[in-house]
Amino acid sequence: MPIAEQSSVELNDRRMAVMSDLTECLTQAEVAIARMDVAALEQHCERQFALCREWVAAQSDQKAVSDNPPLLGSELENTAQRLHYRTRVHAALLRRMRRAILVLENMSVGPTSPYAAPVASGEMPSRTRS
């Protein structure tokens, strides 16, 4: 096997390992989001950043070997699809968590204006016409 092909195969294996690790990390982070475990979520984010940097390095190495990356194998393609799905789920959970935090923040601030005085029974509130 020529060196260029061997390097290409090794790079594909490296890319697949990074994608698998990232998929697993996203899955674990989803649990942290559901539990609103900020410390665990921060650890997973740091791991995701490291894996993304590793992915960029693998991509640049792939381009150095050849301008035309080899066709993706079915296993690599399946891993890429799982990663894409996990990324979409992760983003949706983060949006939901952000909304929940905003609701809690708004509740802690309290109402912006005092409530109107209740109307005594039997009285109808007055309406003004313009």
**What does the alpha-carbon distance between residue 26 and residue 33 come to, in Å, rounded to a whole number?**
10
Per-residue pLDDT for 128 more than 60? no
Per-residue pLDDT for 112 more than 70? no
pLDDT reported for residue 104: 83
Do residues 8 and 70 make contact, with C-beta atoms less than 8 angstroms apart?
yes
This prediction has a pTM of 0.62
**What does the alpha-carbon distance between residue 5 and residue 70 come to, in Å, rounded to a whole number?**
9
> Could you read off the pLDDT of 14-61 as tens digits, one per residue?
888 998 999 999 999 989 888 888 899 889 989 999 998 898 888 777
> Could you read off the pLDDT of 56-105 as tens digits, one per residue?
888 777 776 665 555 556 777 788 888 889 989 988 988 888 888 888 88
